[in-house]
Amino acid sequence: MIISAQDLSVCFDGRVRAVDGVDLDIPAGEILALVGESGCGKTTLARTLLGLEKPTSGTVSFEGQPLSYSTKALKKYRSQVQLILQDPLGALNPRHTVYDAVAEGLRVQKIPGDETALVADALSRAGLRPPERFFMRFPHELSGGQRQRVVIAGALVLSPRVLIADEPVSSLDASVRGEILNLLLSLRDDLGLTVLVVTHDLGLAWNIADRVSVMYLGRIVESGPTAEVLTNPQHPYTQALLSVVPDISRTAPIVLTGETPDPTRIPSGCRFHPRCPVAMEQCSKTTLPILIPSRGHAAVCLRISDSD
């Protein structure tokens, strides 16, 4: 496992349990999609895996070693695990040129070598060719897709092992999105990168992910190979999420009422029971176990007697 989490919890102000018991294993070279609605804790989980957030309890491990939160160790860790943000325009300092934006990682990490060559290499690997044409451009002079490629180049320049991408295409034009997803796929194939994609978009998961983990209110409720989870969902929440993806060939959508509850008031028993269309009486009383990572397909729901 290149990156993993054991019984991870992250609380804010002592009461907001954004991540509330998550076990996660990502083997090297895998693309994992972490799927859920806003407020489910997926972004907090990603930030915690990056070491940007310190867990309240539990551990994050990189190559089997628990993460150390000393300034020096964290800095070193960050050259291995890189972040790609949702809004590339916001992620780039408007006053920095493309060259500066990509070189920033090298300067921060004080990486020796020919800076210009490294930056040019990262830009062309991110699909901006010839790279010299982009050096002096400012973010506002680029298109959305180009900006996201600059952000990706800024991550690649450090030769990381893991990319954590938070909604990497949701702010891009529909016709551009496929190209960026293709880039992520080819980075995995060519460089052996491990990619964690945080998204609410099941189509994206179907496009590129090897495995999918579905998160609801701070916990992973279902996990497994993409093809199985998305074509044969077990958890009622996953079923509902899939049913509302706009697609005319599908059966009637299960539109859940309300929105993801506030993580300060997590319901008792199964946390999904107040919105669950198939909830039973014992769902509000029985405490459910944390989903243990496995290579197979598993879900946490009282309706499923045995997860296979």
Partner 1 sequence: MTLLQFRDLSVDYASSEGIVPAVRGVTLDVAAGETLGIAGESGCGKTTLASTVLRLLPDSAQVRGEILLDGVDILSMKWGRLRAVRWSQAAIVFQGALHALNPVQRIGDQIAEPIRLHQTVPEKQINARVGELLSQVGLPASRAKSYPHQLSGGQRQRVMIAMALACKPALIIADEPTTALDVMVQAQVLDLLTGLVRDASAGPDGGMGMILISHDLGVLGTTCDRIAVMYAGQIIESGPALEIFDNPKHPYTRALAAAFPRIGDPTARYSPTGLPGDPPFPGDLPTGCAFHPRCPIAVDSCRDSAPALVQVVPHRMAACFKVDS
Partner 2 sequence: MSIATQRRHRGLTQFANSFRQDRTGMTGLVILAIFIATAILAPILIPDAALDVTKADGGRFEPPSFSYPLGTDEVGRSILLMLAWGTRISLTVGLAATLISMVIGTAFGIMAGHFRGVGSQALVGVTDWFLVIPFLPLAIVLATVLGPSTLNLIIVIGITSWAGTARLIRAQTLSIEGRPYLERSKALGAGNWYQMSRHVLPNVFPLVLANTTLTVAIVILSETTLSFLGLGDPGAPSWGALLDRAFSSGAVSRGAWWYVLPPGICVVLVVLAFTLVGRAMERIVDPRRAS
Residues that bind partner 2 (CB under 8 A): 50, 52, 71, 74-79, 82-83, 85-87, 90-97, 99-100, 104-105, 108-109, 115-116, 119, 135-136, 138, 140-141, 151, 154, 158
The binder of 244, among partner 1, partner 2, none, by C-beta within 5 to 8 A per type, is partner 1
Nearest to 102 by CA among 86, 112, 117: 117
**Distance in Å, CB of 11 to partner 2, minimum:** 17
Contact between 277 and partner 1 (CB under 8 A)?
no
Return the residue of 37, 100, 115, 121 that touches partner 1, per CB under 8 A. Answer: 37
Q: Where are the beta strands (DSSP E) in the chain?
A: 3-12, 16-26, 31-35, 57-62, 65-66, 81-84, 162-166, 194-199, 211-216, 219-225, 298-299
CB of 14 to partner 2, least distance (A): 16
| Contact status: 175 vs partner 1 (CB under 8 A) | yes
Residue 77 DSSP SS3: helix
The tokens for 19 are 């991540």
User: Restricting to residues 232-261, which ones interact with partner 1 according to CB under 8 A?
Assistant: 240-242, 244-249, 253, 255-257, 259-260
Question: What is the C-alpha separation between 16 and 264, in angstroms, rounded?
Answer: 5
Nearest to 195 by CA among 206, 182, 209: 209
284: partner contacted, choices partner 2, partner 1, none (Cβ within 5-8 A by kind): none
d(CA 31, CA 19): 21
Contacted entry of partner 2, partner 1, none for residue 145, CB cut-off 5 to 8 Å set by kind:
partner 1
What strand order describes the sheet that includes 65-66?
A: 16-26, 3-12, 57-62, 65-66
State which residue, 70 or 252, has the beta carbon closest to partner 1. 252
Secondary structure class of 306 (helix, strand, coil): coil
**Residues engaged in binding partner 1 (CB under 8 A):** 37-38, 143-146, 173-182, 185, 200-204, 206-208, 226-227, 230-231, 240-242, 244-249, 253, 255-257, 259-260
